[in-house]
Amino acid sequence: MADGYFVLPYTIGNYLAPMLNKPIPGTDHPGFLAAETEARNRFQRFLDVKGTRSPDWFHRELGKIIWDYCGMERTEQGLQKALSELPPLYEEFQRDLRVTGDGASINQTLEKAGRVDDFFQLGMLMCRDALERRESAGGHFRAEYQDEEGEAQRDDEHFAHVAAWEWTGDPMHAIRNVEELEFETIHLAKRSYK
């Protein structure tokens, strides 16, 4: 992320400059048209709710739950609490969101509603993933999985794999796909932060 922050401004301009004042290729492709229609419908749904709470209000409530229960140190109990609180808050977001303005011009509140919607889905999936990982490794510190000195206690027998969540349209029912990792040259070793 830090590299991208410094590199992107010097690379993206050169990539996009030749496209200036030219038609964007592929906008008539069926996949593009379907994605555009889906995006328009999504943003129109935000506008149509006409509720009482701003995207910022939901963003703060969501952030507090994630901070309290899925931060740097997590517990099974805290993650389960987050997973019990997030879906009802997300349902409230879907029925009580207030977006001012319209969708015909630049609308920062509408843009924020889209981001907060994404944050809800990511937050629920992040909590589910953290609950599945019954070990401590790197930034995934589960308080239940530490040694007597407070160091992270990994479980390489059960978690030496890559896990990718498959989107089903509902973050609470995403499908976890696993691909085992094989270490031939370098072997796993405990990391100590002392």
Q: Tell me the pLDDT tens digit for each residue of 44-95.
A: 999 999 999 999 999 999 999 999 999 989 999 999 999 999 999 999 999 9
Given pLDDT bands bounded at 50, 70 and 90, which one contains residue 194?
low
Helix (H, G, I), strand (E, B) or coil at 2: helix
Residue whose tokens read 């290729």: 25
Q: Please, what is the Cα angle at 45 between 42 and 47, to 5 degrees?
A: 115
Q: Tell me the pLDDT tens digit for each residue of 101-111.
A: 999 999 999 99
Q: Quote the pTM value.
A: 0.81
What's the Rg (C-alpha) of the chain? 21
Residue 73 tokens read as 């140190």
Q: Please, what is the Cα angle at 73 between 69 and 74, to 5 degrees?
A: 45
Q: Are 99 and 106 in contact (CB under 8 A)?
A: no
Q: What's the half-sphere exposure (Cβ side, CA atoms, 13 Å) at 116?
A: 29
Q: Options 1.25.10.10, 1.20.58.100, 2.40.160.20, 3.30.56.10; which CATH number does 52-99+107-194 get?
A: 1.20.58.100
